[in-house]
Chains A and B, each alone.
Chain A
Amino acid sequence: NAGVTQTPKFQVLKTGQSMTLQCAQDMNHEYMSWYRQDPGMGLRLIHYSVGAGITDQGEVPNGYNVSRSTTEDFPLRLLSAAPSQTSVYFCASSQGTGPWGEKLFFGSGTQLSVL
C-alpha cells in the first residue's frame, strides 16, 4: 500500500529554471493539497483540489501552478524558480471533498533548493 508518493526526494535548481514536483495517491481520495514547510512557520497551503478538474489557491500560491486531470495525480509546477521557494514541499490527500475532520495523509516530502 503506497499511499501518497512524491518525487523527487531532493532537487536543486538555478534561479529562473522551471520544474514539476510529482504527487500521486492510490487511495481514491478526492481532496489533494500541496504545502510548503519553512522553519518556524509550520505548513502553509499552496494549492488544493477537491476533485479532478477542480483546483483552488491556498495561502501562498504565487509562483506555483497546479492541475488535476485525474483523481490520482496532482503535480505542482514552479514556473520560474526563485531562492524564496527554497523549502520542503509536502503533498497530502484526504477522503471526501473537504478537510473538516478528515485525516490528511502526507507524502514524505521534496526538499528543494534554489540557488
Chain B
Amino acid sequence: TQLLEQSPQFLSIQEGENLTVYCNSSSVFSSLQWYRQEPGEGPVLLVTVVTGGEVKKLKRLTFQFGDARKDSSLHITAAQPGDTGLYLCAGAPRTGNQFYFGTGTSLTVIP
C-alpha cells in the first residue's frame, strides 16, 4: 500500500491546455515536495511546501498544500511540450527520517 497516491496515473493533453495532478494521503506530512523526472534521469526538485494551505507558483506551475497537510495539487497552465515528464510528489512525515514518494503521474504534452 502506497502512503501517497497520485491521480491521474497517465495524462495526455494538447499543447495550451490546463491540467491538475493530485497527491493524496491519509497521513499528515511536515512538508511535501514535487519532483519532475525525465527518461533516463533522476527526479529533480520543483518545489517544497511546508505550511498547510500554502500556495507556490513557479512560472506556469501552481502548487498547493492542503489545509490539513495530507494532500497537495499541481496545476499547469497552458501546458507546453517541455512539460512532458513524470511528476512525483514526496512527503516527509512528522517523525522519522523516511521520505515517501507518490505513485507518479506521467504527463505527455502533444505539440
Contacts and interface: CB of A to CB of B under 8 A. Distances in A.
Interface residues of B, number: 27
B40 A56 contact: no
Nearest to B93: A100
B98 A48 contact: yes
A40 B9 contact: yes
Given A106-B42, A108-B40, A109-B42, A44 B99 contact: no
Nearest to A57: B98
Interface string A31-71: 10101000011111100101000001011000000000000
Interface of A: 4, 31, 33, 35, 40-45, 48, 50, 56, 58-59, 90, 92, 97-101, 103-104, 106-109
Interface of B: 2, 4, 6, 9, 30-31, 33, 35, 40-45, 48, 50, 88, 90, 92, 97-104
5 contacts: A40-B103, A90-B42, A99-B98, A106-B41, A109-B42
